[in-house]
Structure 1
Amino acid sequence: MKLQFYTPQNNTLKKYIEGYYFIIADDSEEPVHYWTFPNNYCILSANQNSIATQVDQKISISFTSDKNIASSLVFRYTSPIEVHYERPVNEITLYFKPLGLNQFASDLEKIFMHHDLLEYSPFPDFNETMGHIFNLINREQQIEELEKYWLSKLHTKDLGLITSIVSDIEADLKMEDIAKKHHISRQHINKIFLKNIGKSPSEYRKIYRFRNTVTRKKGTKSLTELSYDNLFYDQSHLNKDFKELTAVNPKMFFKNVDVNKENIWLFI
């Protein structure tokens, strides 16, 4: 499976999109599967001539002779998801930073009411545009058209309060302190978090710590050092969170995952 990852060329898009990748179908390749672990991105995918189904924590993507574009969104999961391609298909996937997709789509509050969502098209012309981009032969043209399209959909919103709360969560402030700082209740924080992020503050915090730990493991730090460097109470706290988010303990996780990969959230 040929996967090529890019960061946005446009500086405005860089504020909201972590990056995107293209998968090129190759009929000669065998079925492909990988595990992906919880993150705080909104992940929007478009697949050409394919059908995607989800059963529990497994997403299967299969080829169809029907000419179509299947688009899907993943925004909330707290355990590993297995992704299985019966055979590689053409795909474009975008990783939106927390609150990033909010600056483009207008229906996220309704969408975030669903815990799992597979089928999702953010705009009436999304699938048609993705089909046009798939059919461009030149990768530079594909990137230019993709970024031009998302810039045309940008409608900047004032998300100052939730942006500040997210920063407080990432700084590991206690919920009662965050509530006092912003003069709102903890219940209201939870409500606006679910409305704008699609997950609870506690879920976001746990995943944020986990992702920071994975990123910082590129050095030679011990698990004890990683625990305290990433705001875990102790190593047993780190062990507990890792088992919840990856289904294995940290030692086993780092033994089997190459943390030096550029696209660290995608472990093939």
Structure 2
Amino acid sequence: MNLEFYRPTLEALTPYIEGYYFIAPGTHADNLHYWTFPNNYFIVSVSQGVTIEMEKNRLLVRPSAQQTVLSNFVSRYTTPIEVLYDGPILEITIYFKPLGINHFIENPHSLFERNTALDFNPFSDFIPNMNEILSTSDRSLQRKKLEAYWLSKLQIREFRHLKEVLFALESEEKIEDIAHRHGFSRQYLSKLFNKVIGKSPVEYRKIHRFRAAIANQKNMKSLTELSYESMFYDQSHLIKDFKQLTSVNPCTFFKKVDTNQECLWLFI
């Protein structure tokens, strides 16, 4: 699969949105089947004229005669999700960075509590605008409309301490030490994280380590070297986490995944 992934052209959006991609009928993407693995993004997909069946670890999207717009989100998953597109689909999928969705929606905590849902409709004008954007055939204009819409909803909020905590969690510093350094108990930090990130600090770090290992793998000579370079305690720790997050061991995973592609969170 070779979907083109776009980074925001508007600088005001880059701290909050990682990027987005489009799926349109009549392209190489008419029939897709892939697995996607845990990440720390908040993902919103908007589709026109489809039916969506969502099961625990499986998402099936089919064309529908009804030209209604459906919007779903995924904020948290800890095992692979199988995604199938059965026919030509019109879709936009947007990846919000950790904390990013908080700058567009005042209180996303209720969304985080559900992890995933088929009824993402945060604003009264959301569906009409998404419908217009999906119906735009010119890709350049489509991108301008999409980014202009999200820019209109941007409300920058102060998360200075949490930004620092996120940065620290991507290091080897102990979570308890991170919490105390910012004047929090570990329990309070976990509660706060679940409210604004949708997962615990432990889970965030675990997924970050996993993603770091994927990014580092092509430059490593062995699993042992990869383990230490990606903040795992040892090779056994890496294998354990990979089996939990991908359902296979690292060797099998890396045989099937192209680690050179840009969208490392989305794999065939």
In angstroms, what is the RMSD of aligned CA positions?
A: 1.6
Residue 167 (structure 1) shift: 1.4
| Residue 197 to residue 29, structure 1, CA distance change in 2 (3 Å) | closer
Contact residue 27 and residue 87 of structure 1 kept, 8 A: no
Letter in 2 for 1:85: Y
| Residue 30 to residue 153, structure 1, CA distance change in 2 (3 Å) | closer
Contact residue 74 and residue 118 of structure 1 kept, 8 A: no
Q: Secondary structure at the match of 2:114?
A: coil
Asked whether 1:47 is paired with 2:43, we answer: no
| Residue 188 to residue 220, structure 1, CA distance change in 2 (3 Å) | closer
Letter in 2 for 1:211: R
Letter in 2 for 1:88: P
1:71-90 matches, within 5 Å, as: 71-90=71-90
Partner of 1:63: 63
Task: Normalising by structure 2, report the TM-score.
Answer: 0.95
Q: Secondary structure at the match of 2:154?
A: coil
Partner of 1:196: 196
Q: Secondary structure at the match of 1:94?
A: strand
Contact residue 45 and residue 73 of structure 2 kept, 8 A: yes
Contact residue 72 and residue 116 of structure 2 kept, 8 A: no
Partner of 2:12: 12
Deviations 1:114-170 (A, max 9, x none): 233232122221111111011112111001111111110000001112212111211
1:119-134 matches, within 5 Å, as: 119-134=119-134
Q: Distance in 2 between matches of 1:64 and 1:172?
A: 49
Contact residue 32 and residue 88 of structure 1 kept, 8 A: no
Contact residue 30 and residue 85 of structure 2 kept, 8 A: no
Partner of 1:148: 148
Letter in 2 for 1:219: N
Partner of 1:95: 95
Contact residue 74 and residue 117 of structure 1 kept, 8 A: yes
Deviations 1:62-121 (A, max 9, x none): 111111111011010000000111113011001111011111112301211223323212
Partner of 2:208: 208
| Residue 250 to residue 191, structure 1, CA distance change in 2 (3 Å) | same
Q: Distance in 2 between matches of 1:3 and 1:175?
A: 37
| Residue 259 to residue 28, structure 1, CA distance change in 2 (3 Å) | closer
Letter in 2 for 1:139: R
Partner of 1:265: 265
Letter in 2 for 1:165: V
Contact residue 214 and residue 259 of structure 1 kept, 8 A: yes
Letter in 2 for 1:262: E
Please, which moves more after superposition, 121-130 or 92-101?
A: 121-130
Q: Distance in 1 between matches of 2:41 and 2:113?
A: 17
Contact residue 74 and residue 115 of structure 2 kept, 8 A: no
| Residue 227 to residue 205, structure 1, CA distance change in 2 (3 Å) | same
Q: Distance in 1 between matches of 2:255 and 2:127?
A: 40
Please, which moves more after superposition, 27-36 or 152-161?
A: 27-36
Please, which moves more after superposition, 232-241 or 222-231?
A: 222-231
Partner of 2:116: 116
Contact residue 102 and residue 108 of structure 2 kept, 8 A: yes
Letter in 2 for 1:15: P
Gaps of 5+ in 2: none
Q: Secondary structure at the match of 1:107?
A: coil
Q: Secondary structure at the match of 1:113?
A: helix
Q: Secondary structure at the match of 1:166?
A: helix
| Residue 64 to residue 96, structure 1, CA distance change in 2 (3 Å) | same
Contact residue 57 and residue 80 of structure 1 kept, 8 A: yes
Q: Distance in 2 between matches of 1:28 and 1:111?
A: 33
Aligned residues: 268
